[in-house]
Structure 1
Amino acid sequence: MSDTLSPDDVLRMRVHALGLAENGWTGAEQEHRGIGGERTGAVVRRMLALQGQDWRSARWALGIRAPGTTVEDVEASFTERRIVRSWPMRGTVHIVASEDIRWMQLATNHRVLAGAPKRRAFLGITDALLDRLVDTSMLALGAAGSSGLDREELGRAWTDAGLEWQSNWRYHLIWWICQNGLAAFGPIGPAGEPLLVAAEHWIPAHRDVTGDAALRELATRYAAARGPIREKDLAWWTGLTVAEARVGISAAVDSGSLVQVRSRDANGEDVPGAAGKLWVDPALLGTPSRDAPLPEWLLLAAFDEHLLGYSDRAPQLDSAHFSRIVPGRNGMFLPTVVHRGRVVGTWKRQRTKAGGLGIDPFPEAQIDTDALAEANRTWAAFHGVAAGDVALIE
């Protein structure tokens, strides 16, 4: 296909594919999204995976893509076993549809498990002790059943079994049993966060996708929910090598689920060579994703896929402002204020009695606090709290 995309085309398609456009996902996708937990579960399935290490932010990343839902609907998706929180790839926590977690791990584990022995050597965990910790964990999770365990309860199970352990071991052990498909975070506990459960008892069914078919599935579904992408975007997002990403994209092109297009720069000139190659779901090349208006104002969650879904974020964010999104470049992405698809500032809930929203705009950004008040009310309705006022941070 000889289509050529401008930076504005790429931005519009990305916003639409991400489920953030004003008309949302349309057609059959919209009709089958259901209500409550079914609806938020369908958002996760559509997105393939959403960044989930910040639990409260991850809930809003779901809510903004399913207008009219609430925190309770997100929690219902977990309780109903539609979605889980775990490590599907890249050594990073994501929210994933229950049936997708295992095949994704099997496709990407070779990239993340290889470094585990070195980490355990640093922590002082021998292979024999690892086996005992894993066995004890799975026995405790099996006994807990669908009730699950929180981190403190898991630690007590180790102590009760006579194991001497250190507090800095717990994250690694939880990651290890989750990354190997033995456990996942599922039902919501009393503290309002997902509890650890044994995967074989909690997850109703796994899809069987392996080899090149798994790479094709990753490429197809990733691009369908992210818009135009480059090979390095898929490689970064999955944690796979560029060569593996290339295999997946090639298989997706052969199946007709992706097509290759070219990109133009801001001056309208074709971007030469490999840098100008993009792959896109052919359904996104028409309307409304290419012609529909971008949403005027959005309040996106910390770690939202709007930025975290790509290695090349230029269409959404001026690189000069990256340090404002990730202060100190410590990997902690702040919640973002988005105007017509572009990030123009950050926001946070005010820690005052009156509450409300504080906006920290980029230099020279023009912020419409009246328009953001509506977005703030939507956020508040989702969480079931008072909205408060919107004000610029002095």
Structure 2
Amino acid sequence: MGTQLSQDALNRALIERQMLRERADIGAFATIERLFGIQAQEPKSPYVGLWTRLQNFQPQELEDLLISRYVVRVLLMRGTIHLVSAQDALSLRPHTQLRLDRELQSGPFAKHLRGLDLDAVAEAGRKILDDAPQSTAEAGKQLKELWPDREHTVLGNALRNKLALVQIPPRGLWHKSGRAVCTTLESWLDQEQHPMSLETLVLRYLRAFGPASVMDAQQWSGLTRLGEVFEQLRPQLVTFRNDAGKELFDLQDAPRPDPETPLPVRLLPEFDNILLAHADRRRVIADDRLGVVIGGKPTVLVDGRVVATWSVTKDKKITVDYLDKLPKSRQKAVAEECDRLQDWMNP
């Protein structure tokens, strides 16, 4: 099957590909594409995610990309908001639609949607949102005029899943964010969706998150039956196994650093993809600590693994809540990185 990779080896490979060993001297747009998107459930988290990975990153750079429509905030992998390049949004969203449709059939609103022609709702909603960007709740109120027996919140949530909706600026800006006002992806970019091949999707996933198993890729994407795609790609990939004997795939030329490679302290924003992109997350976080990620707490990496959470107080100070007892030298390094972020957030 291939050489066994330790958890340390998997950790160093992931840290390297996620640009967390050394801050890179490249732009925000290139980084967003290299990472295959950044989690953006919290509007300001992508800014911290870029700051922790890039040299000299300033919020204005990402604001300009959002305003100029080079990047967008849209519902994608795992039914969550991601910040991606415009072209990735157009080519990724078709792959996520099946999962979003299933969510409408089995999620919390399913019983309220029974008997409803969701395609007709989506088409009516598209006309409303393309004509005048607004919140899904506001659009739902207009849809209620056509479907008076349904709650506007239910109709609005149906649009959230059925349509590729962009949360347009000022939502997502650093200096002045706003409420979630939406229009369709096609209207915002003046282009139609065009799915990338599943082979391309898997290769780009491995470039950003490998080595990884089929289940890892399915966890990240929310897609199923990717095993067939991995088998088609097998001749051009290399394989390994983890400490549990699970087969892992990787690109032949991808970096796999020495497991002993020293790593700096890094502060991660809420829901950073490095913590969510695998079914087996032990390479960066212990199973019994997944609650801090799911709960939306920003995290601290020491030696490549989650050892603490951090938060910003009302007086704009960064505080740390340790999950592990660390040596004073490590605590000093954490404090110094917190000071750097604090200074950057409050120039």
Query: TM-score surpassing 0.5?
Result: yes
8 Å CA contact 1:298, 1:339 repeated in 2: yes
Distance 1:70 1:161 in 2: 46
The sequence identity of aligned pairs, in percent, is 23
Give the match for residue 134 of structure 1: 122
Among 147, 151, 165, the residue aligned to 1:166: 151
Are residues 217 and 321 of structure 1, via their aligned partners in 2, closer, same or farther at CA, if it must alter by over 3 Å? same
Separation in 2 of the partners of 1:204 and 1:19?
A: 32
Structure 1 equivalent of residue 210 of structure 2: 227
Q: Cα 1:231–1:345, aligned 2, differ >3 Å: closer, same or farther?
A: same
The yes-or-no answer on 1:334 pairing with 2:322 is no
Unaligned stretches of 5+ residues in structure 2: none
**Judging changes above 3 Å, is the alpha-carbon distance between structure 1 residues 225 and 89 closer, same or farther for their aligned structure 2 residues?**
same
The match for 2:310 is 347
Cα distance in 2 between the residues matched to 1:282 and 1:195 = 43
Q: Give the match for residue 168 of structure 2.
A: 186
Distance 1:209 1:169 in 2: 28
Instruction: Work out the CA distance in 1 between the residues paired with 2:100 and 2:123.
Output: 22
Confirm or deny: 8 A CA contact 2:100 2:161 kept in the other structure: no
The residue aligned with 1:122 is 111
Does structure 2 retain, via aligned residues, the 8 Å contact 1:317–1:342?
yes
Q: Is the 8 A contact 2:32 2:85 kept in 1?
A: yes
Relative to structure 1, the CA distance from residue 251 to residue 23 in structure 2 (aligned partners, 3 Å threshold; closer, same or farther) is farther
Measured against aligned partners, the alpha-carbon deviations of 1:266-299 in whole angstroms (never above 9, x if no partner) come to: xxxxx54xx2x2112222345xx44784432111
What is the letter of the counterpart of residue 187 of structure 1? P
State how far apart, in whole Å, the 2-side matches of 1:206 and 1:136 are. Answer: 18
Cα deviation digits, residues 288-345 of structure 1 (max 9, x gap): x44784432111111011211111111212223334x25xxxx323111110101111
Q: 2:200 is matched by which residue type in structure 1?
A: E
Structure 2 CA distance, aligned partners of 1:58 and 1:225?
A: 16
Query: Which residue of structure 2 aligns with residue 176 of structure 1?
Result: 161
**Aligned 8 A contact 1:18 1:227 in 2:** no
Seen in structure 2, the aligned counterparts of structure 1 residues 13 and 372 have a Cα distance that, compared at 3 Å, is same
State how far apart, in whole Å, the 2-side matches of 1:166 and 1:73 are. 40
Partners of 1:118 and 1:297 in 2: CA distance: 41
Q: Distance in 1 between matches of 2:153 and 2:205?
A: 34
1:94 pairs, out of 69, 82, 87, with: 82
CA positional deviation for 1:155: 5.1
Q: Number of aligned pairs?
A: 341
Residue 225 of structure 1 aligns to a residue in which SS?
helix
SS of equivalent to 1:187 = coil
Q: Secondary structure at the match of 1:90?
A: helix
> In 2, Cα distance between the equivalents of 1:162 and 1:261?
54
Amino acid at match of 2:240: V
Per-residue CA deviation, residues 191-226 of structure 1 (Å, 9 max, x unaligned), is 44663123222225467445xxx2211211111101
What is the aligned counterpart of 1:238 among 221, 229, 234? 221
Q: Which amino acid aligns with 1:199?
A: L
What do the CA deviations read for 1:63-89 (whole angstroms, capped 9, x no partner)?
Answer: 323332222222222112122222223
CA contact 1:98–1:205 (8 Å) conserved in 2: no
Structure 1 residues 81-112: Cα deviation after superposition (integer angstroms, max 9, x where no partner)? 12222222322222222112233232342233
Kindly report which structure 2 residues correspond to 1:69-108, keeping only aligned pairs within 5 A, or say none: 69-108=57-96
The answer for the alignment partner of 2:334 in structure 1 is 372
| Aligned: 1:251 with 2:213 | no
Question: Which amino acid in structure 1 is aligned with residue 234 of structure 2?
Answer: V
- CA apart distance, 1:121: 4.5
**Secondary structure of 2:334 counterpart:** helix
Residue 323 of structure 2: aligned partner: 362
Cα distance in 1 for partners of 2:255, 2:3 equals 8
Q: Deviations over 1:341-364 (max 9, x none)?
A: 01111111112x3x3111110142
Deviation at 1:3, TM superposition (A): 4.4
Alpha-carbon distance change, 193 to 64 in structure 1, aligned in 2, over 3 angstroms: farther
Q: Which moved more, 1:86-95 or 1:310-319?
A: 86-95
Partner of 1:149: 134
Aligned-partner SS, 2:254: helix
> Which residue number corresponds to residue 5 of structure 1?
5
SS of the residue 1:343 aligns to: strand
